[in-house]
Chains A and B, each alone.
Chain A
Amino acid sequence: MEGVSTMVVLAAPITTGLTMVNAQTPRPVDNRDRRWGNWMVATQTGDRTVYETLLRDCTPFIKTVARRQGVSPNYIDDVVQETLLTVHRARRTYDPNRSFSAWLRTIAQRRAIDGLRRQSRNGAWETHAPFAYENHPDPGRDPEEATNQVERTVRLDSAVSTLPASQREAVQHLALREQSLTEAAAVTGRTTGALKVNLHRALKTLRAQLGRQD
């Protein structure tokens, strides 16, 4: 008991000292509130630069309020944006005789509650399934179709390989590589007319061969 009393006696002057320091030096929070309040008054007169600075300065504060209200990180951005919009709409209701921080906190808390409600509504309809996307079958990728495609390619390759060299050359450049007549002519050194004739003959031959196989 004696020890406790001594501690209390020792603690008393320290506490008093701190109180005196606080009374003389304004706390940073008070300074910030005064600064924001002044900026909001300037905003009410239409000072755009000050307004944008104020909104930027306020966003960490709004985030903190939203986090304390229990809003999940996914919804914090929504709450900040909703709060900024509400501040814009409510700017004429700010009274310079009252605390700006308290005014902003109430708006942020309300928007955070709206965010929590939205979060809860979405939670009722959505399920967290991180592997659902990876496991979802792509209807455009039919395994049977892929096999058929490989078979068709093999048949076409073998049919093309049986063509005379000039016709094979025309098919490879114009049909398979999809080059223009001019490009193919430059690569092969043949005239565009010759390439066209060779392609026409090659297609006729291939049609006959592949048609027979089907």
Chain B
Amino acid sequence: MVTNSYDRLIQALGADLTPVRRLAPPGARTLIWLTIVGAIALALATVSDVGAMSRRLMAAPDMWLAAIGSLVTAVLAAVAAFQLSLPDRKPAWALLPLPAAVFWVAASGIGCLRWWLVPETHPASLGEAETCLAFILGISVPLSALLIVMLRQGCPLRPNLTLVIAGLACASAAATLLNFIHPYDATATDLTVHAFAVATVILANAIFGGRLLMGKDVLASV
């Protein structure tokens, strides 16, 4: 048998070896996470006025365009995050949700202009905007925790990039779900609060998710 200078480490790794179940394809894992987001959406649909939400969204194109933008961003960011959690996938996957995110931001930005163009719309007050902030942050926490636990099963070689994209997925999913309980038209204040909430979720994922994502060091005793 060939021996080399890494024998001690190799023997220690061999001693630590246990059978493992091969990880499910990233597409299947993405689908599981999106199914859970869908279940939350269904639960919210039962307690909110879906008809009013539909009318509100259809009344202004920027509203439903922004909703579609956030939904597509959530889906694509989740796909990208699960791809990035595998060691042999290219970092270019991180670019996947960016066009949708730009579209979402642009559609939301148009909403700011509408309030000046159509003064009779009902803008959100500062207190109502705070509710949006609490909702996005509140929904993002369990979604982020679940996503990080699922990503942890892989082995992301770029944990920070993976966490930023995971944060984008959670924040955009939360912003999409917000439509169920958001009876106001978009205003600059409201959108600033949304942007702040989304940025907070992404930043919190990047800062606090690292330890959760990487977990305990392999063979600390080696």
Q: Are the CB atoms of A110 and B18 closer together than 8 Å? A: no
- The interface stretch among B20-28, B55-63, B71-79, B123-131 is B20-28
Q: Are the CB atoms of B19 and A81 closer together than 8 Å? A: no
Point out the residue from B7, B14, B87, B218 that lies within 8 Å of A106, measured CB to CB: B87
Any A CB within 8 A of the CB of B118: no
Any A CB within 8 A of the CB of B203: no
Complex: how many Å from CA A52 to CA B218?
16
Q: With A52-B11, A55-B13 as given contacts, are A90 and B6 in contact (CB-CB < 8 Å)?
A: no
Tell me, rounded to whole Å, the shortest Cβ–Cβ distance linking B152 to chain A.
Answer: 11
Neighbouring A residues of B117 by C-beta, 8 Å: none
Q: Are the CB atoms of B19 and A45 closer together than 8 Å? A: yes
Tell me the count of chain B residues lying within 8 A, CB to CB, of chain A.
33
Contact residues, B1-59 vs A (CB, 8 A) = 1-7, 9-11, 13-23, 25
Q: Are the CB atoms of B20 and A86 closer together than 8 Å? A: no
Complex: how many Å from CA A188 to CA B73?
98
Q: Are the CB atoms of A86 and B155 closer together than 8 Å? A: yes
Contact residues, A45-76 vs B (CB, 8 A) = 45-46, 48-49, 51-53, 55-57, 59
Most buried by A among B16, B86, B158: B86
Any B CB within 8 A of the CB of A183: no
Complex: how many Å from CA A55 to CA B1?
12
Any A CB within 8 A of the CB of B120: no
Q: Are the CB atoms of B4 and A44 closer together than 8 Å? A: no
Neighbouring A residues of B158 by C-beta, 8 Å: 110
Q: Are the CB atoms of A103 and B87 closer together than 8 Å? A: yes
Neighbouring B residues of A98 by C-beta, 8 Å: 88
Q: Are the CB atoms of A88 and B157 closer together than 8 Å? A: no
Any A CB within 8 A of the CB of B92: no
Q: Are the CB atoms of A48 and B17 closer together than 8 Å? A: yes
**0/1 per residue, B87-104, Cβ < 8 Å to A?**
110000000000000000
Most buried by A among B1, B4, B157, B219: B157
Complex: how many Å from CA A92 to CA B222?
20
Point out the residue from B2, B7, B22, B153 that lies within 8 Å of A44, measured CB to CB: B22
Neighbouring B residues of A103 by C-beta, 8 Å: 87-88
Q: Are the CB atoms of A52 and B10 closer together than 8 Å? A: yes
Neighbouring A residues of B17 by C-beta, 8 Å: 43, 46, 48, 51, 88
Point out the residue from A91, A102, A107 that lies within 8 Å of B157, measured CB to CB: A107
14 contacts between A and B (CB under 8 A): A55-B10, A56-B2, A56-B3, A56-B6, A59-B6, A84-B6, A85-B218, A85-B219, A88-B218, A90-B154, A93-B87, A93-B154, A95-B22, A110-B157
**Which chain B residues have a beta carbon within 8 Å of chain A's beta carbons?**
1-7, 9-11, 13-23, 25, 86-88, 153-155, 157-158, 218-219, 222
**Which chain A residues have a beta carbon within 8 Å of chain B's beta carbons?**
43-46, 48-49, 51-53, 55-57, 59, 77, 80-81, 84-86, 88-95, 98, 102-103, 106-107, 110
